[in-house]
Every structure is written in structure tokens, then in C-alpha cells.
Amino acid sequence: MRIPEFLYSIYERRLAREIDPDRRPCHVGIILDGNRRWAKELGSSASTGHRKGADHVREVLGWCEEAGIQIVTLWMLSTDNLNRSPGELAELMEIIADTVEDLGATGNWTIRIIGDLKLMPEEFAARLRATEERAGAGMTVNIAVGYGGRHEITDAVRTYLRERAEEGATLDEVADEINIGAITEHMYTKGQPDPDLIIRTSGEQRMSGFMLWQTVHTELYFCEAYWPAFRRTDLLRALRDYAARERRMGR
């Protein structure tokens, strides 16, 4: 039996009141999972699922902003996803580009692309870069495209080594001075705080390599809902759960 909307509204307000405003996460990462399974259960195509999921992004970002979150990282396309069929991949990239351009056009958020755009078709990459270059205000939205955690770390180390080589450093000098801070400064998210909370939709309980370097002390929340069916109550439950946890930060 479907619960009436007015009861959901009452429940949403109650959830919002239960979240300690002093314990809200600053940076939330979301693994947008379940588009294809959502569509399959409805007897629809994968394309329909991707479109529905993309249409949902702007609404969820609005909820995040209302909740006082300052940075949201959305994992839209992984390096593993690049192995999908050419037809599905081309359609998915078109959907992502349209979505990112739509988010940038609002001017409400600062859009930042994280991932290796060199792996992407040039036209697709150019559309994302153009959106990133637009001036935005308010909440920062990281769009993870062509992203994999191992790939990011490898990319960061490679960039660091090249920079030091161009400066004339010897291999021994680099080996002596390389440290966590040096690698962190070359990650895609440099200059940003690590995520406080990662939410994954669809019921899968694994990280799949998302933000490997940055999530040493991050809290994890796994939601049963597929991404297209992710509701504001699901977000509020995640935030309430986070606020109730005692973060030890390795201590």
C-alpha cells in the first residue's frame, strides 16, 4: 500500500528535526547506483533508467543544499563503465553531458569535474570543461567522470613524478621527500576536505574504488533504494545516521 504524500511530508520534517545541525557533514559523496536495475524491474530500457537517474540529480542536489552540505561529489561514470557496449556508453555520455550542462546553467552551484577526461571522447570532454569554466556560486558539486580510485592515485603519483623530474630532482631526492601531503596535492579533489560521508544507493555494500585515497576516515551509508527512486527521506536518514555516529578519526 502506497503511503500518502502528506504522511511523507510529516516524516520528512520529523527527520530533519532529529539531525543535529552541528553534526552535519561538510562533504558528501554519492555513488549513483541502480539505474539499469530500476529500469529492468519496470520492463524499460537501460537508457530509460539512465535518463530517469539523470533527471533526479538536480532535485537531490537541492535537498543537499537545503541540508547545509557544502560539497557534494557525484560518481556518474567510472573507468570500469568504459567497458560497456559502445551504444550504451555513447548514450550514457550524452545524458551525462546534458545533465552537467543543465546544472551549470543554473548558476546555483560551482561545478568541478574530477576524473581523467583524457579517457573520454574529445567532444564530450570539451562540453564538461566548458561547464566547469562557468562561474558558479553556492555549493560545490564535483562530477566524477572517467573516475576510478586506483586510476586517480596512479595519476597523482605520475603527475608528481613528472613535476619533480622537470625541476631537476633526482630519483633518490624524490624517494626521500615523497609523502602523503605531496600525493594529496595532486589528487583530483586537491584543496577540498575529504568526504565526511559516502552514500551508495541500490543496496550494494561496497565502495568499488570510489575516492580510495580520501575515505580513510569517511563514514559509509548504504541505501536500499535505486538511484532513480532515492527520496529526500533516504537522504535525511543518512544524515541522521551520520550525526548519531561517534567519529574516531583513527584514534
The domain locations on the chain are 24-154+180-243
As annotated, the active-site residues are 33, 81
Backbone angles phi, psi at 42, to 5 degrees: -95, 0
224-238 residue pLDDT tens: 999 999 999 999 999
For 179-223, write each residue's pLDDT tens digit.
Answer: 999 999 999 999 999 999 999 999 999 999 999 999 999 999 999
What CATH architecture is 24-154+180-243?
A: 3-Layer(aba) Sandwich (3.40)
Region for residue 85 given its phi and psi (left: phi exceeds 0; alpha: psi -120 to 50; beta: otherwise) = beta
pLDDT band at 55 (very low <50, low <70, confident <90, very high): very high
Degrees to nearest 5, angle at CA 238 with 234 and 240: 115
| pTM, two decimal places | 0.94
- Confidence class for position 43, pLDDT limits 50, 70, 90: very high
Binding-site members for substrate are 34-38, 50, 78-80, 84, 200, 206-208
Mean pLDDT throughout 20-41?
96
Average pLDDT value for residue range 141-170: 97
Per the annotation, binding residues for Mg(2+) are 33, 219
